[in-house]
């Protein structure tokens, strides 16, 4: 078959070893037949990478925790409350922390006498959402994240004492007595915490630098559910969410529903030879819903969603590290989580990035958050 002048010139310019193949290919083209096709190179098999997002349950992480299915519009909100307290040489101090989902109260400090009676109680509220619905607060909300960090501010020469802590998916033991005016009995609570196989015990000088615990979802149905916003709780109401009820003190009768969407953190600070000065900071994140005509109500965006595998890995990581005290600071959580949890984001990186964009930067105070990790740290740009 006669080749065109252009094809003949191309063959003449080609190396001698390629001329025969080119002539056959051009002849096949002229005959309208498929010419010889080079075999594709064998590609290396791609291994499926597990979907991971490190440290997302930490409130300092800028990404909101995604939901399994769409749940309408909401406004992610993160804020904190901080206070100082002292541990004396006679009485113990008990700190109870929990994100109840629909209230700004996230903790309570108790001074407990040697006989177990509570001498004083101090509630800790997130100030930015402390108002109830009728007073300008959110109309509804649900829990998202919670963490508590403690630092011993005492003089280095006097720093000491013993500290016991627990991060539990179960309620703490029920108190005895009838509340603050009738002296709660915390002897059983302190004994239950110290005898639990999940508790950890450290010395006070371990907290010379702030270390934090990160809570995790304890009840998935309650964790995903929005409830009417209640603002700030009383001590009885907060304890009804974190402590068990008893026949002596049926605190569960004080309010209709006592949801406990996330794990409960409790610290027991034993009396020391010298007075110890401590500072505690509780960070909490919520999905909040606001009245239609309010500025926050007009800033709400669709709740981000993610595949079940990614959500399970986020929660599994938080559960696995629930009893580990993590340094607090920019990048600290990811720096601790990264080496201990294998895998990378892989294809989930884009989903995590979309989650960040869905948050719209509405998470207050999260600028120092931790980036998602895929092997080396991935910069996430809003």
Q: Is position 355 within any domain?
A: yes
What's the domain count of the chain? Answer: 2
Whole-number Å distance between alpha carbons of 314 and 372: 11
Q: Based on the domain organization, do 162 and 285 belong to the same domain?
A: yes
Tell me, what's the pLDDT at 179?
55
Q: Based on the domain organization, do 4 and 98 belong to the same domain?
A: no
Which residues are CB-contacts of 305 (< 8 A; sequence separation ≥ 6)?
A: 66, 67, 68, 69, 70
Distances (CA, A) of 301 to 74, 244, 288, 362: 6, 36, 11, 10
Whole-number Å distance between alpha carbons of 346 and 328: 27
Whole-number Å distance between alpha carbons of 245 and 230: 21
User: How many Å from the N-terminal Cα to the C-terminal Cα in the chain?
Assistant: 62
Q: Based on the domain organization, do 77 and 152 belong to the same domain?
A: yes
Q: Based on the domain organization, do 149 and 290 belong to the same domain?
A: yes
Full domain range(s) for residue 5? 1-33
Tell me, what's the pLDDT at 358?
46
Q: Is position 49 within any domain?
A: no
Burial of residue 266 (CB within 10 Å: 0-12, 13-18, 19+) is: buried
Q: Based on the domain organization, do 232 and 106 belong to the same domain?
A: yes
Sheet holding 105-112, edge to edge: 118-125, 105-112, 92-97, 264-269, 162-168, 200-203
Tell me, what's the pLDDT at 103?
94
Q: Based on the domain organization, do 184 and 325 belong to the same domain?
A: yes
Whole-number Å distance between alpha carbons of 321 and 57: 11
CA-wise closest residue to 218 among 283, 252, 287, 167: 167
Q: Based on the domain organization, do 162 and 225 belong to the same domain?
A: yes
Q: Is position 292 within any domain?
A: yes
Whole-number Å distance between alpha carbons of 278 and 43: 59
Contact 366, 144 (CB under 8 A): no
For the chain (382 residues), the mean pLDDT of every run of 10, in chain order, is 80 84 81 61 65 80 90 93 95 95 94 92 95 92 95 93 94 74 80 93 94 92 91 89 63 56 95 95 96 92 91 90 81 48 43 46 35 32 28
Q: Based on the domain organization, do 81 and 134 belong to the same domain?
A: yes
Q: Is position 217 within any domain?
A: yes
Tell me, what's the pLDDT at 256?
40
Burial of residue 22 (CB within 10 Å: 0-12, 13-18, 19+) is: middle
* CATH code for the domain of 291: 2.60.120
Q: Based on the domain organization, do 1 and 133 belong to the same domain?
A: no
Tell me, what's the pLDDT at 326?
86
Q: Is position 323 within any domain?
A: yes
Contact 145, 106 (CB under 8 A): no
Tell me, what's the pLDDT at 209?
92
CA-wise closest residue to 242 among 169, 149, 316: 169
Q: Is position 50 within any domain?
A: no
Q: Based on the domain organization, do 28 and 106 belong to the same domain?
A: no
Q: Is position 246 within any domain?
A: yes
Q: How far is CA 213 from the centre of its chain?
A: 10
Q: Based on the domain organization, do 97 and 20 belong to the same domain?
A: no
Q: Is position 224 within any domain?
A: yes
Q: Based on the domain organization, do 239 and 355 belong to the same domain?
A: yes
Which residues are CB-contacts of 296 (< 8 A; sequence separation ≥ 6)?
A: 75, 138, 288, 290
Dmax (CA) for the chain in angstroms is 109
- Classified as helix, coil or strand, 238 is helix
Residues shown for the chain: 382
Contact 337, 317 (CB under 8 A): yes
């Amino acid at each position: 078959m006669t080749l065109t002048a252009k094809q003949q010139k191309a063959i003449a310019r080609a190396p001698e070893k390629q001329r025969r193949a080119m002539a056959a290919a051009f002849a096949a083209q002229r005959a309208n037949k498929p010419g010889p096709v080079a075999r594709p190179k064998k590609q290396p098999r791609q291994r499926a990478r597990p979907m991971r997002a490190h440290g997302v349950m930490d409130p300092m992480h800028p990404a909101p925790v995604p939901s399994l299915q769409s749940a309408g519009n909401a406004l992610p909100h993160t804020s904190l409350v901080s206070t100082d307290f002292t541990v004396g040489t006679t009485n113990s101090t008990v700190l109870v922390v929990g994100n109840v989902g629909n209230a700004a109260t996230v903790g309570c400090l108790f001074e407990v006498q040697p006989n177990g009676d509570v001498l004083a109680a101090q509630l800790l509220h997130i100030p930015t959402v402390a108002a109830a619905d009728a007073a300008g607060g959110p109309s509804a909300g649900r829990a998202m994240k919670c963490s508590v960090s403690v630092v011993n501010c005492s003089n280095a020469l006097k720093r000491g004492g013993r500290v016991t802590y627990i991060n539990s998916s179960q309620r703490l033991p029920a108190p005895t007595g009838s509340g603050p005016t009738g002296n709660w009995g915390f002897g059983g609570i302190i004994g239950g915490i110290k005898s639990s196989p999940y508790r950890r015990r450290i010395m006070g000088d371990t907290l010379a630098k702030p270390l934090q615990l990160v809570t995790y979802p304890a009840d998935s149905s309650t964790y995903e559910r929005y409830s009417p916003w209640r603002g700030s709780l009383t001590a009885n109401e907060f304890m009804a969410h974190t402590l068990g009820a008893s026949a002596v003190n049926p605190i569960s009768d004080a309010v209709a529903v006592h949801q406990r969407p996330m794990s409960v953190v409790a610290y027991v600070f034993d009396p020391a030879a010298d007075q110890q000065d401590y500072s505690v900071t509780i960070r909490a994140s919520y999905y909040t819903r606001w009245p239609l005509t309010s500025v926050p109500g007009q800033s709400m965006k669709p709740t981000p969603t993610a595949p079940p595998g990614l959500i399970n890995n986020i929660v599994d990581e938080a559960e696995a590290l629930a009893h580990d005290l993590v340094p607090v600071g920019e990048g600290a959580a990811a720096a601790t989580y990264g080496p201990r949890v294998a895998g990378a984001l892989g294809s989930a990186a884009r989903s995590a990035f979309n989650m960040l964009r869905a948050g719209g930067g509405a998470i207050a105070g999260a600028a120092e958050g931790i980036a998602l990790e895929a092997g080396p740290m991935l910069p996430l740009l809003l």
